[in-house]
Amino acid sequence: MKKFYLIILTFFLAQKSFANQPNEWQLGFQKAASESMREIVAFHNNLLLPIIIAISVFVLFLMLYACVRFRASANPNPSKRTHNVTVEVLWTLIPCLILIVMAVPSFKILYKQDTIPKADLTIKAIGYQWYWGYEYPDENLIFESYMVEDKDLKVDQPRLLAVDNEVVVPVNKVVKVLITANDVLHAWALPSFGVKRDAVPGRINETWFKAEKEGTYYGQCSELCGIKHAFMPIAVKVVSEEDYQEWLAEAQVKFAKEKIEDNKLKLASK
């Protein structure tokens, strides 16, 4: 019985620590973990949402008013009016002004995302059918990241999001991400960082993020890429600078050994 309660407690704590992922019955965006995502959430919640609600309420009012005011029983002799110049000018100019109000801050956010500051770390993400390959060019580190199958999941690993090899980056550092694909179109997306870029074969797209707090952040391929499109998640683990340097030293040894073993298997199969 104690073991059962321990498992339940471990699962609950694990869910709390892995909060940077979609949750059941979630409304709105995931919690922001970067300045870019905070700006996106503020733009949506403080500007877009009020405008959308106001327009929806106004249109609903017009529909109800028209149904009641111009119903057949109240208008035995229907109006033969065909147009109204003032109304037509208003319903053209007002939507244009609303679009301008929405466009200016949205362009500001987009241009800021495209302006990459001086990077502290560069990572290359390569999309394959159906997994991600990663390179740390400055550290001469290359590895592949596959989704963990259901039968291999640990208690603290979310289904369809956990991977065998996570991308590890230091907290409060500018991370530049080079994104491409090896076969078909993919997309590298991390909602908590406000990052989404297409991975196009033969082309390298760039983006960046600066994670403000430690934790594990999950994303997924966001471009339909084949039968297993839903099974190539993205996991980025944000750690302290000390933990990052420790991971880097271990990873260089680990993946170097795996590469040697893979080469031996390839030679043996010939």
Question: Which segment of 69-83, 135-149, 186-200, 216-230 scores lowest on mean pLDDT?
Answer: 69-83
Measured CA to CA, the distance from residue 94 to residue 59 in angstroms comes to 14
**Lookup: tokens for 42:** 């503020």
Residue 216's pLDDT is: 93
pLDDT, mean of residues 228-234: 95
Give yes or no for residue 96 having a pLDDT over 80: yes
Residues 6+ apart with CB under 8 A from 257: none
In the chain, how long is the greatest CA-to-CA distance?
A: 91
Residue 266's pLDDT is: 58
Helices 85-114, 35-43: axis angle to 10 degrees equals: 170
Q: Which residue has the higher pLDDT, 140 or 57?
A: 57
Domains, the chain, ordered by start = 35-114 (1.10.287.90), 121-269 (2.60.40.420)
Give yes or no for residue 95 having a pLDDT over 50: yes
Q: Which residue has the higher pLDDT, 258 or 252?
A: 252
Give yes or no for residue 19 having a pLDDT over 80: no
pLDDT, mean of residues 113-142: 93
User: pLDDT band at residue 22, thresholds of 50, 70 and 90?
Assistant: confident
> From its phi and psi, is residue 139 left (phi > 0), alpha (psi between -120 and 50) or beta?
alpha
Residue 8's pLDDT is: 42
Measured CA to CA, the distance from residue 153 to residue 161 in angstroms comes to 10
The kind and range of the H/E element at 125 are: strand 121-128
Measured CA to CA, the distance from residue 167 to residue 61 in angstroms comes to 51
Measured CA to CA, the distance from residue 242 to residue 252 in angstroms comes to 16
Across 54-74, b (16+ Cβ under 10 Å) vs e yields eeeeeeeeeeeeeeeeeeeee
Q: Which residue has the higher pLDDT, 30 or 211?
A: 211
User: pLDDT band at residue 185, thresholds of 50, 70 and 90?
Assistant: very high
Q: pLDDT tens digits for 162-181?
A: 999 999 999 999 999 999 99
Measured CA to CA, the distance from residue 7 to residue 1 in angstroms comes to 10
Residue 42's pLDDT is: 94
Residue 77's pLDDT is: 84
Give yes or no for residue 57 having a pLDDT over 70: yes
Give yes or no for residue 12 having a pLDDT over 80: no
Measuring CA to CA, which residue among 32, 238, 252 is closest to residue 120? Answer: 238
